Structures are given as C-alpha cells and as structure tokens.
Amino acid sequence: MQVKAEVGSSLTTAEYIELEKRYGAFNYAPLDVVVKEASGVWVHDAEGNKYMDCLAAYSALNQGHCHPAILETMIDQAKRVTLTSRAFRNEQLPLLCRDLHELTGMEMTLPMNSGAEAVETALKAARRWGYEKKGIPVDEAEIIVCAGNFHGRTITIVSFTTEDAYRKGFGPYTPGFKVVPYGDAEAVRKAITPKTCAFLVEPIQGEAGIIIPPKGYLEECHAACKENNVLFMLDEIQSGLGRSGKLFAYMHEDVRPDAIITGKALSGGYYPVSAVIATGELLGVFRPGEHGSTFGGNPLGCAVARTALRVLQEENLCERSEELGSYLLEKLRGVRSPIIREVRGRGLWIGIELTKPARPFCEELMREGLLCKETHDFVIRIAPPLVVTQEELDWAFERFEKVLTKTI
C-alpha cells in the first residue's frame, strides 16, 4: 500500500488554537495568528488575512519566507540524497565548508543543526583547547559570558543565563562560567584568570532587547583576550548573516574572532542548519569520535545553506539591511509619543523600548497587519526579512506610528 502525502487542513484559527492548547506544551506564548502560507515578507492566516512579518523567525528568515532559489535547491537535493550521517562522506559538506571559509577567511567549519548545539560545540572545543593548548588543569577551565546573554536552551547554556525564566527549576547547573556586565570591556579583562579559556559574547544582544554595546567594545574585549591567550568567540546566530547590516556583526569593528557561531538564517528558514566556523587550532582539538551529530552536516542541510548564503550575497541583503535599517530607524526616531523610551538599532534590527509592557502593542499591531513580538516585556523588536522593500517599510511605518501614538 502506498502512503498518500497529506498537507494542510481547513480548520479555523480558533479551532487550531484550541487543538494546540489541548495537546501542545505551553512553553511559548504566541500571538493568536495561525500562519498557513507565506512568501517574502508576507504571511497569510487560516482565514486568508495578510500580515507583514516583522520578526522573521528571530532572524532565521533573513532571505524571506519560501525563497524560490532555496526552495528549488531543497527539492532538488531532497530527490537525490538527504542524509548519509557522518559515517560516510557526502558531496555537499565539503562545498559548504569551502564556501564558509571563502566568506569569513576562517580555516574550519563544524556543522550542527540548532543554534544551541553549535554553542555547545564551541564551548566543548574551548574547554578542550584550554586543556590541550593552554595547559589549564583538567576540569578547571573557565568561560566568561555576559549578563543578559542568550545562547540557547540546553542545561549547560541555561546554567549561565541571567534570565530567571530560562533557568529556574532546571538545576543542578553546569559549573565553569563567569558572568560579567555586557558592554564593559574592562570587566572582561578583570575577570580573566590563568584558567580562562574563552570569552563568549553576542556582538549585539538580540533577545535582551537589541542591546548595542559602546563603539570599540569588541575591539577592547578582543585585545584583552589576545593579551591573555583567551579565545574570543562570537555568537552570531541572530546578529549574523546580514541582520546588522554586515555579513557578521563583528565586521563593524576590527577584530579577528577565534570562533563564529552561526545558525538561524544559515538555511533561510527551510531547515535547521548551524555551524561553528573557527580557527584550525580550535576546531582541530576534535578527533574522530569525540563530538558529532547524526544530522549535522547532512547533504540536504548543506545544500540549502549554500544557496541561502548565495541569496544573501547575490541579492545584496547586507547592504539592503544597512540602508533600509537606517531609513526606518530615522523615521521611527521621529515618532513623538510619551510611551517611547528609546528607539535603537543597527541594520534592519530595531528595538523600540516602551515605558509600558509591549505585549498589548504587539497585539494591536497584529490587528493592523504587522506581526511583531515583544522581547523582555518592554521592547518591540522589528526585524523583517531583509528582502523587504522601502515601500513595504513605509506601509509598516504608518501602522507603527498609528499604534505607538494611540493610548492602549
């Protein structure tokens, strides 16, 4: 008997929500919109209403929903071979590693699937490097991280979050992490000891509310690391791949990271692909059998990632992000409203900090046809797919202005 493929159904928004509430776990508080179709910056709900996506799946959709070139690659590769596991080699992995080398100048890539797995990979590599290359006594390595960080959801990663909601009730926690204030390079320098193997930082903190550190911060941290033989590792999972107006956000400053952790838009939203892109000295610490992932580096993911990267370059999405981001930021800064505390951003990555909880404003924006999500209670994050046009941003701006000057 042949199994027939089945996609979609024709329930109403209320019915889908009811089903999800009955059978799904409650680890998210989504807006009550059920997306059934999407293209570029636009999504459609179960009733056919249209919205502009101003979150882009936390920047996993920088290339826009259902990008046709990535779709073609996905289908083509899916028909040929999807998974070999790393027990055998596949044709796509070497090509992705080469492409990432050419884009960043880094020597090696280790592919994984989710962002959190790539962060874990970098942490493991850093500890191993600390013991084998730096000579830190075994099991005593320290890694410095920043307050307000977001690096994912594994037990080790939530062990060093400063956000109660991410951490509370999940102990016992993984030791070996030291937290310093974000944006304070002197604090990093002071926290370094002979046992420090790495400093892990987001060039801009997205989840914390688009927190942009002072100019020169990365350079000063980088210098402190280099002077003390400490690895400088960047989590570019959200800030990278065009979001900040550069391919990677660290490229706004003059630094050479030891590791770039990437994910999200690496696959243009089609399929989870993440990677650690690093020096040979760092990733070289792994020998066969010491780290891995069944799906990491699979040919489907690698093919999709290669096209996703080509789309970023050929459609000049970094430049667009820079230009259109400045354009929208200026316009939003011009909005006069007593509830706006600050408007900040870099590239098409803008945070509007309010004096009141942002959630009701996001709900009102949804009714106006804009999908935004609050982050950390008081901030509305605006991060549309980078394929958005100036006209579409003007359309969005009218609605932002309307909602932000309303009394809610």
Ligand X SMILES: *Cc1c(COP(=O)(O)O)cnc(C)c1O
Among the listed ranges 1-9, 85-93, 111-119, 249-257, the one in contact with ligand X (CB under 6 A) is 111-119
**How far is C-alpha 119 from the chain's CA centre?**
11
Nearest approach, Cβ of residue 116 and ligand X (Å): 3
Q: Do residues 324 and 388 make contact, with C-beta atoms less than 8 angstroms apart?
A: yes
Among 212, 237, 249, 300, binds ligand X (CB under 6 A): 237
142 versus 235: smaller Cβ distance to ligand X: 235
Name which of 167, 115, 58, 132 is nearest 179 in CA terms: 167
Nearest approach, Cβ of residue 274 and ligand X (Å): 6
205 versus 307: smaller Cβ distance to ligand X: 205
Half-sphere exposure (Cβ direction) of 396: Cα atoms closer than 13 Å: 31
Nearest approach, Cβ of residue 115 and ligand X (Å): 2
Nearest approach, Cβ of residue 150 and ligand X (Å): 5
151 versus 252: smaller Cβ distance to ligand X: 151
62: contact with ligand X by CB under 6 A: no
The one catalytic residue in 150, 232, 295, 378 is 150
- The pair of three-digit structure tokens given for residue 339, joined into one six-digit string: 């509830």
Give the bridge partners for 145, in sequence order.
179
CA distance 111 to 108: 10
Decide if 76 is catalytic. Answer: no
The per-residue b/e assignment along 369-405, b for 16 or more CB within 10 angstroms, e otherwise, is: ebbbbbbbebbbbbbbbbbbeeebbeebbebbbebbe
Subset of residues 333 to 392 that bind ligand X, contact rule: CB under 6 A: none
CA distance 253 to 234: 13
- The pair of three-digit structure tokens given for residue 276, joined into one six-digit string: 């650690």
Decide if 235 is catalytic. Answer: yes
Nearest approach, Cβ of residue 143 and ligand X (Å): 15
Radius of gyration of the chain (CA): 21
Among the listed ranges 90-98, 233-241, 282-290, 294-302, the one in contact with ligand X (CB under 6 A) is 233-241
The one catalytic residue in 235, 248, 373, 397 is 235
CA distance 125 to 120: 9
Q: Give residues with Cβ within 8 angstroms of 321, minimum separation 6.
A: 62, 242, 243, 244, 245, 347, 348, 349, 386
151: contact with ligand X by CB under 6 A: yes
Among 40, 111, 152, 213, binds ligand X (CB under 6 A): 152
Nearest approach, Cβ of residue 402 and ligand X (Å): 29
182: contact with ligand X by CB under 6 A: no
Among 120, 142, 220, 235, binds ligand X (CB under 6 A): 235
Among the listed ranges 94-102, 113-121, 177-185, 193-201, the one in contact with ligand X (CB under 6 A) is 113-121
Decide if 246 is catalytic. Answer: no
Q: Do residues 368 and 39 make contact, with C-beta atoms less than 8 angstroms apart?
A: no
Among 42, 51, 58, 349, binds ligand X (CB under 6 A): 58
User: Judging by beta carbons within 10 Å of its beta carbon (0-12, 13-18, 19+), is residue 229 exposed, middle or buried?
Assistant: middle
62 versus 114: smaller Cβ distance to ligand X: 114
Minimal CB distance residue for ligand X: 115
The one catalytic residue in 134, 160, 199, 264 is 264
150: contact with ligand X by CB under 6 A: yes
245 versus 263: smaller Cβ distance to ligand X: 263
Nearest approach, Cβ of residue 136 and ligand X (Å): 25
242: contact with ligand X by CB under 6 A: no
Subset of residues 258 to 317 that bind ligand X, contact rule: CB under 6 A: 263-264
206: contact with ligand X by CB under 6 A: yes
238: contact with ligand X by CB under 6 A: yes
Q: Which residues are catalytic?
A: 150, 235, 264
Residues that bind ligand X (CB under 6 A): 58, 114-116, 119, 150-152, 202, 206, 235, 237-238, 263-264
